[in-house]
Every structure is written in C-alpha cells, then in structure tokens.
Structure 1
Amino acid sequence: MKNPNCLYTLITGASTGLGKAFAIECARRKMNLILISLPDENLAKLSEILKQTYNIEVYYKETNLTDRKAVVDFANWATDNFSINTLINNAGIGGTQHFIDADPDYLDNMIQLNIRAMTLLTRLILPELKTQGKAYILNVSSLAAFSPVPYKTIYPATKAFIYHFTRGLEAELKDSSISVCVLNPGPIMTNSDVSKRINGQSFYIKLSIMSPEKIARIAVKKLLRGKSVIIPGFMSQLNAFFIRLVPENFRIFVGTRIFKRENGKKRIHENIDNRGKQPAWKQSDQKTVASQL
C-alpha cells in the first residue's frame, strides 16, 4: 500500500554517469528515490549507500528498457507501490560510427531506449504525477538536438525528438501542477569511452566539458524552480547560440570534419586493441552515454 505522504523521485539510467549524479544530488536534497538500470551495474550497492548516507528511502529495479514489456511492467510496479512526484528520464545510448558500419541491433536499441522507453514511461507515470500537488518531469536531451551530426546520425535525431517532445508536452501541461523541463548539456565525462573520444577533440570542445555532478546540481536546481529549457554552463550556452546562428549546411560541414576524424581514430583503435572481442556497444549496452557531442 503506497503512502501518499512519502514522495519519490524516479530516475532511469541511474547506475553510472549523469544518472548516478542525479541520484546523489536528489538524495542530498532528501528526496526519496526509485532507481532503474540494466542488471549487474551495482545498483543495489549504490541504493544502499544513498539510503544509509542520506537517511532516505531508496528502491531499485534492474531491467532492460529497450523491451516494451519491461517498461510497462516497471511503470506498473512503480505507480502501484509509490507516490511519485518527479520523473527524470536520463537513460540513453549513443556513439560515433559510420552509419553503414553500424549494427542494425545497435541502431534499434538506441531508438527503443532513447525514444520509445522515454515516451512510454512518461505516459505511464503521468497519471500518478497529476495526483500530486506539485510534480516535475525532466528529460535529458543534448546540444546535439539542435543540429544534424554526421557519423552520429541516429543519436542527435533521438535527442531532437526528446527536445521537441518535451517542449510540446510542457505546453500541454502548462495549466497543470506539473513542470516539464528538458536538459541540453554539452559533452560530459560520463565514462572512460566518452572521455577518450572527447580528449581527442579540439581545445575549444574540451572547454565545454562539464562533470556529471555539476550538471546534475544545476539541472535539479533549475528543475525545481520551474525552468523549461536548461543548458548548463556558459560554454554550452555559447555553443547553443552559435549552433542556431550558423546555417545548417555549415554546421553539417564542421560536424563532418570533427566526427569523421573521431570515427577514423576509433576504428584504428578497435582494429588494434579489440580483435576477437564483442563490439563496445554489446559490451556495455545501454550504459548512460548522455549528451556526447
């Protein structure tokens, strides 16, 4: 029997990177948590640490959100057992690859997780949020949402979907008790793979890098203040301004130069170091790789 006086924040992709930072930031604010990630990502350990450190209630589920039934089952479990007033849709995958070289399953997983899981979970949790006096939805997009990006192709397209979906939903819920917000960060040092790719970029791009902890701190603060669009950090805000200012064809030209070089370095590295191994996306499928430019 759920307690209407005990409110929870639900965070997807909570075991690593930005999702973990969200969990810690919300716990620091004494928000009870429901965390979700793939199995075998030490979510139980994180949940126990947060529970003991911050004296809050923490529950977790480990499941694969690319599976539609898993999304529905998780949403039913969460709404049947908990009073939820905040939803943070953070889980996502992405990377740099020549589209023709990308495994179809990899592309499908990206679409199912970044788009379908986020959309379905929002829809299924929304009736619960509407029962609260005040509630919040935060969807994690990216600066990549503002422009096509060659050699990423699907990833920025999914982030553009998240951005436009969130702004549309915000307008629909404007007169309700629910604040809807989209987060558009630049590059984040979420894991060693992302760090390796970012470190191979130009000095200017490196200036835009922010830690997951700082982004989570800014995002939660502005979410609770009712901000609609959050672009954390001065450099990311400057980048967002120029992305919108520069003609699209020029953006595509620049993106091609940057990420073609990154893709070439990645393929050389994989040929040398990963012979006989599974592709990286299969080794760490659905780990949170939020907002990679």
Structure 2
Amino acid sequence: MSQSTSSKPLALITGASTGIGATYADRLAKRGYDLILVARDGAKLEQLAAKLSSENGVSVRAFRADLTDAASLKSLETLIRDTPQISLLVNNAGSILPGGFKDSDVEDIDNLIRLNVTSLARLSRVALDGLKTHKDGAIINIASVLALAAEISDPVYTASKAFVLTFTQSLQVELANSGLYFQVVLPAATRTDIWAKGGKNIEEVPGVMEVDELVDAALVGFDKKEPVTIPPLQDENKWFALDNARQALRMEFLQSHAAPRYK
C-alpha cells in the first residue's frame, strides 16, 4: 500500500510480519501511527498492512527486505534516508541459532550477527538525522534478558543481545542533548515463532510471556520514557541496584597501575 502524506506520526518496524514486530504494528496503528513494515515475508507483510490500514484508517506500507543481505539492507537504508517523516524506528528483527556455538555453521553465525547486530546499528545511524527533526523522535531496540544472563543461552545470540543493550545505553549518553529518546526492551521468553525457527520447543521453556502482554508492557515503559524496560522483572529495584553497581565501577577502571593481585 502506498504511503500517505498525512500529518500522522510515521513508524518503521523491522521484523514486522509476525510476533513482537506485528504486535508493535498493531498497537502503533491503534495509536494513530502510519507505518512502514519491514520483513522478509512479503506476502505476510502485505496481508498485515491491508488489515491494519482497514481497521485503523492509517497508511501502511509493506517493504520486503532481508537484513542479512547487504544489497537488501542498503535498499532499506535508502528508503529511510528518503523518508524523513519517520519519527519512530523499532529495531525488532532478530533470530536465534538452531544449536549452540559448537554445533553452528559459520555462515549461520555470520547471518545472525548481520541481523541482530549489524543491521540494527546501521539502521539506527541512517535514521538518526531524520529522527532529530522530530520533537518526539525515538528508537526502540529489542534486546533480551539474556543480555544480563550469559549462562542461559548460546554465546552468539546472547552476545548479540548484550550488544543491543550496551549500544542503546551508550546512545543515551552520547545523544543525551539531542532531544531523541532511546529505549531498550529486554523481554524474557515470549511466545513467538522464533522458537520454531530455531528448532526449539516453546512448551519446554519455563515462564513464557504472551506477546500481547510483552508489547503492551514495553509501550507502558515507552510512555514513561524508561531508558531500559524489563517487562518480566517484578522488582525494578534489583535492576537499579545492578545498574548503580555497574556505574560505581567506572572510577575503579581509571587506574594507571594494575591491581596488587596481579603483581
């Protein structure tokens, strides 16, 4: 569907054909956003775009792109540069490996990094100049609680989500005076098709959150302008304690000599 020139805010969502991305699309359409939906499955995108446009009276464009492919990624970057009306970027696209590190093919590892890390960083930078022109410009980056729990999952996926967390926190510091808002969301296990794609049985995973609840909670955090949103965390003081301890370490790192234990 063609993009309108309406005065509605415009959001671009990656990984938008199913799961978390499709739910963000639904919720943002209900909030009155025009949308650009990005994913590899063009047919699903077109169906979702037509549904959301009809139900909510917004303009929805489907843009098929494989973010692991350099040419496809650059085509999306061109679209973003040519569409300064975008005021919200939701970096949701991501995948997992079928097995652990020792059982994974190097090309699968490379593709996961391209999708979970490289495309997120590139799209964030490409969108930045346009986002700065909006008083409510924002980026939502979808990470994972695994960014804080390296022991739970495979090394590559876990490290990719740690990148998303750290990347977003660093953006919050570097661009603190830009007027932009950067939110990083850390879901735990969520009921989406990512599990089947990774060859995992969701029914064997404890504490699975429904995708509607996850996105609705994340948007409450968005409205509150939380820098870090962790929907499954019941006691937010535990996050504050961890983050305060991390920040307290910074001055300890500024030393000219090694600690006595290394002498």
Q: TM range, normalised to the smaller chain?
A: 0.7 to 0.9
Aligned to 1:112: 114
Cα 1:236/1:153, change in 2 over 3 Å: farther
Match of 2:181 among 179, 182, 187: 179
Q: Give TM-score scaled by structure 2 length.
A: 0.82
Equivalent position amino acid for 1:155 in 2 = Y
Deviations 1:179-225 (A, max 9, x none): 00100010001026279633224xxxx2x321111111111232133
- Most deviating of 106-115 and 140-149: 140-149
Shift of 1:226: 1.2
2: CA distance, partners of 1:238 / 1:214: 21
Report if the CA contact (8 A) 2:190-2:209 is conserved. Answer: yes
1: CA distance, partners of 2:105 / 2:237: 35
Match of 2:69 among 64, 67, 74: 67
Report if the CA contact (8 A) 2:37-2:61 is conserved. Answer: yes
Report if the CA contact (8 A) 2:97-2:109 is conserved. Answer: no
Report if the CA contact (8 A) 1:107-1:154 is conserved. Answer: yes
* Percentage of identical aligned residues: 29
Equivalent position amino acid for 1:105 in 2 = E
Shift of 1:72: 2.3
2: CA distance, partners of 1:139 / 1:121: 11
Equivalent position amino acid for 2:177 in 1 = D
Aligned to 1:7: 9
Deviations 1:99-137 (A, max 9, x none): 222111111110000000000000000000001122111
Q: Does 1:222 align with 2:217?
A: no
Match of 1:53 among 55, 74, 78: 55
Equivalent position amino acid for 1:126 in 2 = L
1: CA distance, partners of 2:102 / 2:238: 29
Aligned to 2:203: 199
Report if the CA contact (8 A) 2:77-2:126 is conserved. Answer: yes
1: CA distance, partners of 2:241 / 2:105: 33
Unaligned runs of 5+ in 1: 245-293
Q: Give TM-score scaled by structure 1 length.
A: 0.74
Report if the CA contact (8 A) 2:42-2:62 is conserved. Answer: no
Shift of 1:51: 0.2
Deviations 1:133-153 (A, max 9, x none): 221111000000013236611
Higher relative contact order (CA 8 A, sep 6+): 1
Aligned to 1:157: 159
Match of 1:190 among 186, 189, 192: 192
Shift of 1:96: 5.0
2: CA distance, partners of 1:166 / 1:73: 24
Number of residue-to-residue matches in the alignment: 239
Task: Report the RMSD for the aligned CA atoms in angstroms.
Answer: 2.6
2: CA distance, partners of 1:81 / 1:243: 39
Deviations 1:221-279 (A, max 9, x none): 321331100000345969979999xxxxxxxxxxxxxxxxxxxxxxxxxxxxxxxxxxx
Cα 1:156/1:239, change in 2 over 3 Å: farther
1: CA distance, partners of 2:200 / 2:153: 17
Aligned to 1:210: 209
Aligned to 2:232: 233
- Most deviating of 82-91 and 36-45: 36-45
- Most deviating of 73-82 and 220-229: 73-82
2: CA distance, partners of 1:241 / 1:221: 18
Equivalent position amino acid for 2:16 in 1 = A
1: CA distance, partners of 2:88 / 2:123: 12
Shift of 1:7: 2.5
Equivalent position amino acid for 1:43 in 2 = L
Aligned to 2:126: 124
- Most deviating of 97-106 and 136-145: 97-106
